[in-house]
Amino acid sequence: MWKSKDIYYISDSTGILAINLGQALLCQFPEVNFLEEKFPFINTTAAARSTLNYILKQSGGRQPLIFSTLVDPEIRKIFDHPQVELFDVCEVFLNRLENCLEAKAIMMPGFARQTDNVSMARRAEAINYCLSHDDGTKLDEYDEAEVILLGVSRAGKTPVSVYLATQMGLKSANYPLTNSDLDSYSLPDAIRRNRKHAVGLTTSPELLQSMRQKRYPDSKYASRACCRQELQQAQQIFMKYNLPSINTAGKSIEELAAQISQEIGLYRKSSTL
């Protein structure tokens, strides 16, 4: 068994797809150490040959793995070398798709990322909305929100909200449950009337304490008892208003965003983004 492997992500665009695909597969082999490098915007044969020469020199015959999303068959062919293992997305899927659809692929690098002005404007609007409605600000504008994240302080609302806006183009607001909300087990009217867009975020008392301890060490706010009580109160509020709740502990932002979208039915809506 290999103890380590050199991994190279090659793309004629940003390389995001190649990296996501490769890492989704490689994580199934935790016993192997992977040394990764990315080469985006490889869109000429000269750049391809130069990159391959670098890879062969770096890896020294250790049969490195290349994950490729190159569209141009001539450029792609350069990396089909006996001293590397090539995993090519386009070769595997595009040819089969052409047969299934009885149509020819346009073979344009990065075409999926060429968004039109309407999509760009919508994404920019979502980002501006997210930034303007962070941490419970401008409650009177919550009727415009596509997602409202609720939770106690330091439960992970802001990073998820930013991801929903920047990566998914969703107008996302986040609201920290205050002591008044927790003690009265109630929510502001702006959230109650928009319950269909609201999702509660929770976590473990241990993780919450760790996050709060970094900000206010040895305070009552960061005590285990306070964290446990606030999380229990928040959960009761979610149950009272029949809001879905998601535990953020041990989950990536991407996982949380996907689960939130599913909970409020956004996956069932088509999007041009």
| CATH number for the domain that contains residue 30 | 3.40.50
Whether 82 maps to a domain, the answer reads yes
Q: Any residues with CB less than 8 A from the CB of 184 and at least 6 apart, and which?
A: none
Q: Which of 44, 54, 45, 40 is nearest to 6 (CA)?
A: 54
* pLDDT of 267: 58
Residues 40 and 123 in one domain: no
Whether 272 maps to a domain, the answer reads no
* pLDDT of 15: 86
Tally of domains within the chain = 2
- The residue among 112, 146, 178 that closes a domain is 112
Going across the sheet that includes 172-176, the strands are 172-176, 147-151, 198-202, 245-247
* pLDDT of 92: 76
- Residues paired with residue 175 on neighbouring β-strands, in sequence order: 150
Please classify residue 226 by burial: count the beta carbons closer than 10 Å to its beta carbon, then call 0-12 exposed, 13-18 middle and 19+ buried: middle
- Classify strands 198-202 and 245-247 as parallel, antiparallel or unpaired: parallel
* pLDDT of 118: 57
Whether 273 maps to a domain, the answer reads no
Q: Which of 95, 75, 96, 97 is nearest to 86 (CA)?
A: 75
CA distance 82 to 61: 10
Distances (CA, A) of 154 to 54, 150, 216: 45, 11, 11
The residue segments making up the domain with residue 185 are 117-267
Residues 106 and 146 in one domain: no
Residues 190 and 86 in one domain: no
Tell me which residues of the chain have a pLDDT lower than 70: 108-118, 267-273
* pLDDT of 123: 85
